[in-house]
Chains A and B, each alone.
Chain A
Amino acid sequence: MLKAADVPDLTKDDLLGYYRQMKLIREFERESERQYTRGNIKGFLHVYNGEEAIAVGAINTLREDDYIVTHYRDHGQALARGMGSKEVMAELMGKATGCSNGKGGSMHLFSDELNFMGGYAIVGGQLCIAAGIALAVQYRGDDQVVLCFFGDGAVNEGEFHEAMNLAAIWNLPVIFFCEHNLYGMGASSKETLVMWDSLHEMAAAYGMDRYEVDGNDVLEVRDLMKKINADVRSGKGPAFVVARTYRLRGHSVADPANYRPDDEVEYWEAQDPIPRFRDWLTDEGIATIEDFDEIDSSVEVEIVAAAEFGESSPWPAPEALYDAVYTDRPTEGIPT
C-alpha cells in the first residue's frame, strides 16, 4: 500500500474527491437497482459495485482531450469522467433528457463533449474502435491517449486479438485496460481462460508493455496509470493493464450470482475498495469522520436529485423514433 508521502501531488481535496466519486458511483448503482425494481429502468442493468476504484483511479489520470471507450457496465466510467448523474439516470430510464436522449440506454452511454466514445455491449467490439481512435490521434500527429476498458470475458473474443495486434504493429497510443473480475457473465474465468491467473502476460505475445494491479486500490491504479499514460503519450506504443477486482453483485440485476462460492464472495467483500480507501484516509490522518459524513450526505442529495430528475423528465417525443439514424437524410420507412 502507498503512503500519503507517496502521492505528494494529491491534495486533501483531490483525495476526498476520489472518495466522493467512488461513493457516488456506489450509491448511483444502488439507486439504479431500486429504480429497476420499481420498473423505472428496463432491460439489462449491469452495476459496477466493487470496481469503483478502477474507473476513478484510471480516468482521473487522463487529460480532458483524451478518449475513453468502454464496455456495457459503463455507469462508473461515465460518472468518473464527469457525466452528470442526472443525465445518466435519465438515460437509464429512457428519458428525453438522458445523455443520448434515451436512445442508447444503460449499456450505451456516450458524450461527445467529454470524449466519452461510448459503452459497447457486444463483448470485444470496442477494442477495435479504440484502436481506430488511436489511429486517428497518430494520423493527426496529436498526443492524446485512448483508454479502452473491457472485462476478462472479452479476452476470448477474436476482436481482442485483432485489436491488440493492430495496435502493437502500428504502435498506436491506446491503453487496453482489462477489469479482471473473474467472471464472464456467469462463467468463471478459471474455467474459460487459460491464462486467468497471469492474464497480463497475454500481451507478451504482442510484444506489448503489460502490467497487473490491485484494482480495488484506487491509489495503486492511479499511480500505475500515471506512468502508463506518460509512456503511451510519449509514443512508446500501446499498453495492456490487468486490474484484479470483483463484481460485488451479479452479472446483471437479473442474476443472483448463486454460482459463486461463499468464501470467494467473503474474501472480496473484505476487499471492497470504498471502505479500504476510507480506512486509508483515516489511518493516514487525512480525513475525519466529519469529512466522510459531509461527503456521504452530499452524495445522497445528488442521488435523490438524479432519481427525481429521471422520474420527472419527459419521454422522448414520438417523432424522435426516426431521428438520428442518418446525419444527412431522413431514414427509410417513416409512415406517411
Chain B
Amino acid sequence: MSVITYRDAVSSVLREALDEDERVFLMGEDIGPYGGAFAVTKGFTERYGKKRIKDSPLAESVIVGAGVGAAMAGLRPVVELMTINFSLLAMDQIVNHAAKIRYMSGGQFSIPLIIRTVTGAGASVGATHSQSFEGMYASIPGLTVVTPATPSDVIGLFRSCRELNDPVMFVEHILLYGTRGDVPSVGDYRVPIGKADVRRTGKDITLCGYSRMANVAEQAAGILAQEGIEADVIDLRTLRPLDSETLVNSVKKTHRALMVEETTRIGGFAGELVSQIQEDAFDYLDAPIARVAGAEVPMPYSYPLEMAAIPSADSVVAAARKLVNGR
C-alpha cells in the first residue's frame, strides 16, 4: 500500500493504459503541453508525443464523436471533457450515438470509448461550472457510468472500465483531486463495475452516496457514532449498472435509509434509489426514505451561499438524527 492523491491516481491509470495498449490515445482540451485543466496529464506530451496525446480544439461534439468513430474503427480512445457542464455540448454524440450504435446495428459495432469528465460543486466557479449530471447519463441504456470517490477506486474502476467494450462515463469530482488515500500496490487490483462499497457498517441507518457525497456520508457517520447512532455507509461507485442489491440488503438490516446527493432533489439520481428501495424493501422500513440533496437553485458563486446549497456532513447528520430519533 502507498498513499497518493486522487489526481495522481488518475494520472497513473492513464499512463498505464498508454503504456500497455498501443490502441489507447487521449484526446481533449488542453491535455497537451498545458497539462490538463486539473494537471492530470502533466508531462504526457513529452512522454508519449502528439500522436497519442491529442490536444483538441474547443469542440466537445467532435471530441466525443471522433472518439466514437475511432472506437468503431478498432482503437480504444480515452477522451476528456474538461467538466461535465461542457458535456452538454456533446450530448448528441454521447446519448444519440455512443450509447445507441451497438444496439441500432444489431450488435455489429461496439464502442470501447472512455469519456473522462469532472463533476461537482463547491469550487466557487458559479452556476455554469458546478453541476452534477452523472445521474442524467445513468438514465441512458448503453452507457456505463462510474463515479470514483477515492484514489484506490479511481485505479480499480479505471482498470475495469478498460476491459469493457462499451462507452463509459468516467466521472471524477472537482474537489477530490487533492485528496489522498491508500492504494493497493498489486498491479491487477480491480474494482468490479456495478459493485458498491460498504464503507462502514452499522445497525441503525443506511447512508448512501456516490462520488464526493460518499465521503461526506462517511464523515457524517463518524459524527453520528459519537451520539450512539451506527450507520451503514454505502458508496455506490457505479451508477449504471447499479448495485441496488447491496443498498436494499443494507436497508433491510437498518430499516432506515438516507440518500445523499449533490445535485438537485427534483430529477436527481437519488429519486431512483428511493424507488428501488421502496419496491424491494418496503416492508422493512421503519421510517420514510429521506434525501439530503442540492438546493433547487442555480449554484450561487458566493461561498457561504454555495455551501448552503450542497449537502455537508452537518446537514447529513441532522437529517439522520431526525430519521432515527424522530427529531
Contacts and interface: CB of A to CB of B under 8 A. Distances in A.
Interface of A: 67, 69, 98-104, 108, 110-112, 117-118, 120, 122, 125, 127-137, 139-140, 158-159, 162-163, 165-166, 169-170, 323-329, 331-332
B92 A67 contact: no
B25 A159 contact: no
Contacts of B267: none
B108 A111 contact: yes
20 contacts: A69-B69, A100-B106, A102-B106, A117-B69, A125-B93, A128-B62, A128-B66, A129-B72, A129-B93, A132-B65, A132-B67, A136-B74, A140-B74, A162-B57, A163-B62, A166-B57, A325-B142, A327-B102, A328-B166, A329-B241
A112 B62 contact: no
A117 B102 contact: no
Contacts of B152: none
Given A122-B92, A132-B73, A331-B141, A117 B68 contact: no
A189 B240 CA distance: 42
B155 to A, nearest CB: 20
A67 B107 CA distance: 18
Contacts of A166: 56-57, 59, 62, 66
B65 A163 contact: yes
Contacts of A132: 65-73, 77
A187 B57 CA distance: 31
A218 to B, nearest CB: 28
A134 B165 CA distance: 20
Please tell me the size bucket of the interface on B.
35 or more
Given A133-B70, A162-B59, A100 B108 contact: yes
Given A103-B106, A159-B92, A332 B66 contact: no
A132 B163 CA distance: 21
Nearest to A333: B141
Contacts of B241: 329, 332
A103 B107 CA distance: 9
A131 B163 CA distance: 25
Contacts of A103: 103-106
Nearest to A172: B66
Contacts of B165: 327-328
Nearest to B105: A110
B109 interface: yes
B84 interface: no
Interface in B26-71: 51, 54, 56-57, 59, 61-62, 64-71
Interface string B78-102: 0000000000000011001100011
Given A326-B102, A332-B241, A128 B108 contact: no
B308 to A, nearest CB: 35
Contacts of B57: 162, 165-166, 169
Contacts of B96: 122, 125
Specify which of A117, A129, A131, A159 lies most central, judged by the most chain B CB atoms within 10 Å of its CB: A129
Given A135-B69, A325-B141, A128 B93 contact: yes
Contact of B66 (A131, A327, A329): A131
Interface in B113-170: 141-142, 144, 163-166
A67 B72 CA distance: 11
A104 B108 CA distance: 11
Given A110-B108, A166-B59, A332-B240, A117 B72 contact: yes
Contacts of A130: 69
A270 B102 CA distance: 42
Contacts of B110: 327
B242 interface: yes
A104 B104 CA distance: 4
B75 interface: yes
Contacts of A326: 102, 142, 144, 166
A192 B231 CA distance: 61
Contacts of A136: 69-70, 72-75
B247 to A, nearest CB: 14
B24 to A, nearest CB: 11
Contacts of B66: 128-129, 131-132, 135, 163, 166
B162 to A, nearest CB: 12
Closest 8 CB pairs of A and B: A132-B69, A128-B65, A132-B66, A136-B73, A324-B107, A100-B106, A110-B105, A101-B106
Nearest to B73: A136
Interface string B299-314: 0000000000000000
Contact of A139 (B70, B102, B109): B70
